[in-house]
Amino acid sequence: MSEPITSEAQKASNLSIAVTQGLHAAGLTEEARIFQGIVADLIYTNPEGALDVAKQGLSRLQKIKAPIDPGVYASAADITM
């Protein structure tokens, strides 16, 4: 049997996993790592804030219509100064 998810930390964790997977699927691996780290840090210090950030991530993810073309998109790791 499963138990209902009631705590803000659990909700943030579950939502951030889904958003992270979506970002990976969209080809945004670096952004997925950053997002996952930010939410993970916030879960321990500010669970409500972590849930808010996870919801914002989901909102941004829903605006992506197709995988990002790596030839068009340059991540911060690809830019040399």
Give me the tens of pLDDT residue by residue for the chain, a chain 81 residues long.
Answer: 678 888 999 999 999 999 999 999 998 999 999 999 999 999 999 999 999 999 999 999 999 888 877 666 665 555 554
Domain membership of residue 54 (yes or no) is yes
**Within the chain, what is the greatest distance between any pair of CA atoms?**
53
The whole-model pTM stands at: 0.79
Q: Tokens standing for 48?
A: 């409500």
Residues 6+ apart with CB under 8 A from 55: 15
Query: Is 23 inside a domain boundary?
Result: yes
Cβ(8)–Cβ(51) below 8 Å = yes
Domain that residue 60 falls in: 8-64
Domain count, the chain: 1
Distance CA 23, CA 65 (A): 12
Amino acid of residue 5: I
Q: Are 78 and 43 in contact (CB under 8 A)?
A: no
